[in-house]
Amino acid sequence: MDDSFDLIVIGAGSGGLAAAKRAASYGARVAILEGDRVGGTCVIRGCVPKKLLVYGSACGHQLADAASYGWRLEGEGAHWRCDPALLLANVRAEVDRLNQLHIAGLAKAGVQLISGWGRFEDPHHLRVSDSQGGDRRLQADRVLIAVGGRPHRPAIAGAQLGWVSDDLFELQGFPERVVVVGAGYIACEFAGILSGLGVAVTQLVRGDHLLRGFDREASAVVQEGMEAAGIDLRFGVNPAAIDGEPGDLQLRTEDGSVFGCGGVLLATGRRPFLAGLNLEAAGVAQEGGRIPVAADQSTNVAHIHAVGDVTDRINLTPVAVDEGRAFADTIYGHRPRQVDHSLVPSAVFTQPELASVGLGEEEALERYGSEGVKVYRARFRSMAQALPKSGGRVLLKLVTEAGSGRIVGAHMVGEHSAEIIQMAAIALVMGATKADFDRTMALHPSVAEEFVTMAN
Tell me the per-residue pLDDT of 210-262, one tens digit each, with 9 for 90 and over.
999 999 999 999 999 999 999 999 999 999 999 999 999 999 999 999 999 99
**Is the torsion defined by CA of 48, 53, 58, 63 positive or negative?**
positive
Comparing 182-186, 388-392, 404-408, 420-424, the range with the smallest average pLDDT is 388-392
What average pLDDT does the segment 369-393 reach? 94
- Please tell me the predicted confidence (pLDDT) of residue 456: 65
Give 101's contacts (C-beta < 8 A, 6+ positions apart).
none
Q: Could you tell me the domains of the chain?
A: 4-55+83-151+271-331 (3.50.50.60), 159-268 (3.50.50.60), 352-453 (3.30.390.30)
Q: What is the pLDDT of residues 323-364, one digit of tens each?
A: 999 999 999 999 999 999 999 999 999 999 999 999 999 999
**Both ends of the chain: CA-CA distance in Å?**
69
Confidence (pTM): 0.95
Q: What is the mean pLDDT of residues 445-456?
A: 93
Task: Provide the 3-class DSSP secondary structure of residue 424.
Answer: helix
- DSSP character at residue 430: T
Q: By C-alpha distance, which of 221, 230, 173, 176 is closest to 203?
A: 230
Question: Quick one: pLDDT band at residue 79, thresholds 50, 70, 90?
Answer: confident
Please tell me whether residue 219 adopts helix, strand or coil conformation.
helix
Question: Is 305 assigned a catalytic role?
Answer: no
Confidence of residue 380 (pLDDT cuts 50, 70, 90): very high
- List 79, 303, 416, 444, catalytic entry: 444
Q: For 421-440, what is each residue's pLDDT tens digit?
A: 999 999 999 999 999 999 99
pLDDT value for 390? 85
pLDDT at residue number 76: 74
| Widest pairwise Cα distance in the chain | 72
C-alpha–C-alpha distance, residues 187 and 207, integer Å: 14
Can you say whether the dihedral through the CA atoms of 295, 296, 297, 302 is positive or negative?
Answer: negative
pLDDT digits (tens, 9 = 90+) for 81-131: 899 999 999 999 999 999 999 999 999 999 999 999 999 999 999 999 876
Q: What is the pLDDT of residues 254-309, one digit of tens each?
A: 999 999 999 999 999 999 999 999 999 999 999 999 999 999 999 999 999 999 99
> What does the pLDDT look like over 119-168, one tens digit per residue?
999 999 999 987 676 789 999 999 999 999 999 999 999 999 999 999 99
C-alpha distances out from residue 133 to 2, 117, 281, Å: 20, 11, 22
The pLDDT value given to residue 115? 95
